[in-house]
Structure formats: C-alpha cells, structure tokens
C-alpha cells in the first residue's frame, strides 16, 4: 500500500474517532429535544465527514498539491525520500 493511501486512511480514522467521541454528548442532547428524529442523519453526516477527510488527505498527498503547499512552506519536506511503499 502506498504511503499516500495510508495517510488518507489514517486521517479518515482519526476524524471518525474524533466525531465518535462527540456523538454520545450529541445523542444525549438530542434525546431530550424535538430534534431526536435527526439522530440517524447526524450519524450519517459523521461518517461522511470521515470519508471526506480521507479524500482530502489523499488529494493533499498528490505531487501537484504538495508542490502548492511547498510554496507556502507547508509541504512535507522531511518526507522526501521518494519511498512510496512505506
């Protein structure tokens, strides 16, 4: 698996973990309100956020986007080994 793909998957998992940590509090808040019917939609939105974060991470790992980030000093200069198998 390529390094770029691994980074995208890790980003998606990190986002999913962060969203999952907030879901119990959100569910408790919604349980006592008229918005309880929106709970399934919010869970789907949380999963969608993780998928979008993974896609954005994959796009940001592309050479063209990396070159753009380098212009602003945000590139991954320490990861220039050229190894795409790690």
CB distance 20 to 12 below 8 Å: no
Structure tokens at 76: 């991954």
3-state SS class at 72 = coil
CB distance 83 to 45 below 8 Å: no
Instruction: Report the pLDDT value the prediction gives residue 84, as an integer from 0 to 100.
Output: 54
Instruction: Report the pLDDT value the prediction gives residue 29, as an integer from 0 to 100.
Output: 74
Residues 22-76 have pLDDT tens digits of: 878 777 777 777 777 777 887 788 788 888 888 888 888 788 888 887 888 877 7
């Amino acid at each position: 698996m390529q390094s770029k793909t691994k980074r995208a998957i890790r980003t998606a998992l990190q986002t999913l973990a962060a969203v999952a940590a907030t879901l119990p509090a959100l569910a408790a808040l919604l349980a006592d309100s008229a918005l309880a019917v929106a709970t399934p939609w919010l869970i789907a939105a949380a999963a969608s956020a993780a998928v979008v974060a993974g896609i954005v991470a994959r796009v940001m790992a592309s050479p063209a986007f990396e070159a753009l980030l380098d212009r602003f000093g945000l590139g991954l200069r320490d990861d220039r080994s050229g190894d795409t198998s790690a």
